[in-house]
Structure 1
Amino acid sequence: MNTLKTFMLLAAMTALFMGLGYLLGGAGGAAIAFVVAAGMNFFAYWNADKMVLRMYGARRVDETTAPNYVRIVKELARRANMPEPAIYIVDNPQPNAFATGRNPENAAVAATTGLIRMLSPEELAGVMAHELAHIKNRDTLTMTVTATIAGAISMLANFALFFGGNRNSESGGGGLIGALALAILAPMAAALVQMAISRTREYSADAGGAEICGNPIWLASALERIEAAARRAPNEAAEANPATAHMFIINPLNGRGRDNLFSTHPATANRVAALRRMAEAVGSAVRRPWG
């Protein structure tokens, strides 16, 4: 059911992209937009992970350069019975993390320097287990493709707004009015689709991550600390690329006090409450050391 829902949401984003193409060039523009969208999906399937890592200046690390962090991720991957992902660090003071890649065999996880400095080993294990759960659930491909299409929709919407749409379109055209309407509504609709895709997957990854690391309280504690710290530390790279915000464990746009109406993440308090209920159910509310 979740797979079908995700497919329908991605189809809706493609339709939005085609609608903008129609606004700019009529039926021919819609056809071109469809071909471009198909090409983007194909390109994103093979390259979106590399694009996102490059966008955030992520650097790959190993046990020599980041021993504790790398050992935690490798141990979690072993516990989850999945291939070890490529492991990256992003030089950013905002505590956050994300995963990317088209499948578990070709995946990567990245944590910011702010996250690694701030969290205890147990909390870091909870966060990285959450990211591994995204990979195991094959969320990462959906999230990177969604980011690619959403970014293209925003770009094309600005293009439509600038040129005023196809004033002589076969539809009789709304001209500038139609361009203004779609240029405003299309990115909003794309944001809603991202929100719908991301929110359900975050809860699932929270539960999966708690199972992988062995203690839901570790992740609950980390989420509370990350949420508070992220509000005090703007993520400039995320602000420049808001279409990728849904990939992070906590909304990276919090540092600018953005309106949460279109937040791609569930309320942190709700996520923490769900994890604490899970801890009570499995009897793991008492903290034990990582290892």
Structure 2
Amino acid sequence: MSSTRFAPDRGLTSRMVVTMFLLGLLYVAFMGILIAVGVQALVVLVFAGGLLLVQYFLSDRIALFAMHGREVSPQEAPELHGMVDRLCAMADMPKPRVAIADSDVPNAFATGRNQQNSVLCVTTGILRRLEPQELEGVLAHELSHVAHRDVAVMTIASFLGIVAGLMTRFALYTGLGRSRDNNGGVPIGLIVMLVSIVVYAISFLLTRALSRYRELAADRAGALLTQRPSALASALTKVTGDMARIPNRDLREAAPFNAFYFAPALAKGTSIANLFSTHPPLERRLEQLARISAQLGRG
């Protein structure tokens, strides 16, 4: 990772190492079981690897296309570009491409495999709702994701889940579930499907746990860069509160992209266990920002 002035986070590094180690261990065990039961997993691995490469190298373009974002020039959005210029200078990092998505859902996201190939996008909804200092806090949070290569890390971490999901479909659609071993025992496909489901569930929980911590790390890095944790806390509170006034249909359309967003888009009445969430609870994020504010001796 290129050096920036974003505050280092040893907790983030250690969690990333532990999560990647556990995912790697799980991957080895999964492949060992597949080989042991005689499954030729090469086709699935090649297909999953292709998906991973496409997601890795084209994540910025895919995200912009999916979320209807449009790159804007400094002449089209001078204030937004000015904020990004200032924050990039403070963080000593290259400036990402800047985009705006025409959506009333108040949110922002940054994506790209590295600092040289990244895009930062905000919605028209968040531009209308936030004060300049609040928006600056959100942008600093998103730039932290770029600086720490969070998209690349999460893409790689998701590889095992993709393989497990594809193996489950492979067992269901190829008739593998009807084939039995030489002793007429349990169908090989059933073994593959059950193992794949377990592997997918474990990898899903591990990547979600890593995603939640990376959001906390981005909050911390962004607050320390701007030295205004209260502005980021205010933005979080506004965005989360205003989300409740967005039509359910719009929230459902935005929900598949929660992993990218500054704050998750959840439809009203939705109750999702924190264990399965891409983001930590609002209360935990605000508590961390309050501690940082106290440490800095200001808001």
- State the TM-score, normalizing by the size of structure 2: 0.79
- Distance across 2 between alignment mates of 1:146 and 1:255: 30
Which residue does 1:289 correspond to in 2? Answer: none
Which residue does 1:125 correspond to in 2? Answer: 136
Which residue does 2:206 correspond to in 1? Answer: 193
- Superposed, 1:118-157 pairs within 5 Å as 118-146=129-157, 150=161, 154=165, 157=168
Which residue does 1:284 correspond to in 2? Answer: 298
Residues 1:249 and 2:262 are matched in the alignment: yes
- Distance across 1 between alignment mates of 2:46 and 2:141: 35
Note the residue ranges of structure 2 that are not aligned, 5 or more in a row. Answer: 1-13
Residues 1:235 and 2:251 are matched in the alignment: yes
2:72 partner amino acid: V
CA-CA distance at 1:223 after TM superposition: 0.9
- Distance across 1 between alignment mates of 2:161 and 2:101: 23
**Structure 2 counterpart of 1:49, from 42, 54, 60:** 60
The root-mean-square deviation of aligned C-alpha atoms, in Å, is 3.2
2:290 partner amino acid: R
- Distance across 1 between alignment mates of 2:29 and 2:251: 28
Residues 42 and 79 (structure 1), Cα distance of their counterparts in 2 relative to 1, 3 Å cut = same
Which residue does 1:222 correspond to in 2? Answer: 235
Residues 170 and 72 (structure 1), Cα distance of their counterparts in 2 relative to 1, 3 Å cut = farther
- Distance across 2 between alignment mates of 1:192 and 1:72: 36
CA-CA distance at 1:236 after TM superposition: 3.8
CA-CA distance at 1:33 after TM superposition: 2.2
Secondary structure in structure 1 of the residue aligned to 2:179: coil
1:50-75 deviation per Cα after TM superposition (whole angstroms, max 9, x unaligned)? 22222212111122222222221221
Residues 1:210 and 2:226 are matched in the alignment: no
Note the residue ranges of structure 1 that are not aligned, 5 or more in a row. Answer: 286-291
Secondary structure in structure 2 of the residue aligned to 1:247: coil
Contact 2:44 2:166 in 1 (8 A): no
- Distance across 2 between alignment mates of 1:251 and 1:200: 14
CA-CA distance at 1:180 after TM superposition: 6.6
**Structure 2 counterpart of 1:92, from 81, 103, 111:** 103
CA-CA distance at 1:284 after TM superposition: 2.3
- Distance across 2 between alignment mates of 1:16 and 1:245: 30
Contact 2:71 2:100 in 1 (8 A): yes
- Distance across 2 between alignment mates of 1:252 and 1:88: 19
1:274 partner amino acid: Q
Which residue does 1:115 correspond to in 2? Answer: 126
Secondary structure in structure 2 of the residue aligned to 1:166: helix
Contact 1:48 1:145 in 2 (8 A): no
Contact 2:115 2:147 in 1 (8 A): yes
- Distance across 1 between alignment mates of 2:262 and 2:25: 25
- Distance across 2 between alignment mates of 1:19 and 1:118: 52
Which residue does 1:288 correspond to in 2? Answer: none
Which residue does 2:272 correspond to in 1? Answer: 259
- Distance across 2 between alignment mates of 1:54 and 1:169: 45
CA-CA distance at 1:98 after TM superposition: 1.4
Residues 235 and 184 (structure 1), Cα distance of their counterparts in 2 relative to 1, 3 Å cut = farther
CA-CA distance at 1:34 after TM superposition: 2.4
Residues 28 and 186 (structure 1), Cα distance of their counterparts in 2 relative to 1, 3 Å cut = closer
Identity of aligned residues (%): 33
Which residue does 1:168 correspond to in 2? Answer: 179
- State the TM-score, normalizing by the size of structure 1: 0.81
Give the length in aligned residue pairs: 280
More displaced stretch, 99-108 vs 138-147: 138-147
Residues 111 and 173 (structure 1), Cα distance of their counterparts in 2 relative to 1, 3 Å cut = farther
CA-CA distance at 1:132 after TM superposition: 0.5
Secondary structure in structure 1 of the residue aligned to 2:121: strand
CA-CA distance at 1:32 after TM superposition: 2.2
CA-CA distance at 1:190 after TM superposition: 4.1
